Structure 1
Amino acid sequence: MKKLQTIQEVITFVNENQLAFLYVSQEDCSVCHALRPKLTELLKNYPKIELREVEADKVKAISAEYLIFSAPTLLFFVDGKEYLREGKFVQFKKLTDAIEQIYSFEENKI
C-alpha cells in the first residue's frame, strides 16, 4: 500500500480519484498493523478503488483536515466527498456491504 507523506498529497489524492480510500494509521498501533492486510485483501475485489495509507503521527494535519481522533480510521471518498468512515474496531462484514453498495452504484454510473 502506497503511503502519502503530506496533507497536500492527501487532498490531491482524494480530489483526483473518483473512488479514493484512505487508511489512516499510526506507527505504534497494533490494531492498525493487523487491519492493513485484511483491508488490502478486501479491496482487491474492487479494482477501481484507489487505496493509500497516511500515518497520522507523521502527517499531523490529517487530524484537523478530516477530523480524525483515533487510529485506525478508514475513509472512503467518492468524487471527493466522504461516503464512509470507520474507526478503531472495524466490522468487516458491515464494511464490505457498504463498499459493495457504493461501488456497484458508482460502477453503474460509469
Structure 2
Amino acid sequence: MKDYPRIETRLVNAGKVTEIAGFLMAFTVPVIALYLDGREVLREARFIPMGKLRNDLKRIYEGVFEA
C-alpha cells in the first residue's frame, strides 16, 4: 500500500473482533474491502489475485486522487 499513501488501511483479526465479520459481511478470510465516502468500491476475498488487486487499486486511486 506504500504506492497509495492517501488510502488509510486497517488490519483486523476477525477472530479477536468478531463483530467485524457481521458488520462487513465477511464470512471467509482473508477479505480486502475498500470504502470510499462510506460506500464499498472494492471487495476481494479468499483467493485474491494480486495482479487484479493491484490494477483495481491503481485504477480507483488514480480516478479519485489524480482526477
TM-score by length of 2: 0.92
Once superposed, which parts of structure 1, at least 4 consecutive aligned residues long, lie more than 4 Å away? none
- Structure 2: distance between partners of 1:53 and 1:83: 18
The aligned length equals 67
Percent identical among aligned pairs is 36
Match status 1:45 vs 2:3: yes
Residue aligning to 1:57 = 15
Q: Which stretches in structure 2 are left out of the alignment for 5+ residues?
A: none
From 42, 48, 51, give the equivalent of 1:84. 42
Letter of the aligned partner of 1:46 in structure 2? Y
- Structure 2: distance between partners of 1:108 and 1:45: 13
Q: Which fold has the larger relative contact order, with Cα–Cα distance below 8 Å and residues 6 or more apart in sequence?
A: 1
Is the strand fraction higher in 1 or 2? 1
- Structure 1: distance between partners of 2:5 and 2:11: 17
Q: Which stretches in structure 1 are left out of the alignment for 5+ residues?
A: 1-42
Is the helix fraction higher in 1 or 2? 1
Match status 1:75 vs 2:19: no
TM-score by length of 1: 0.58
Letter of the aligned partner of 1:68 in structure 2? A
- Shift in Å, 1:88: 1.1
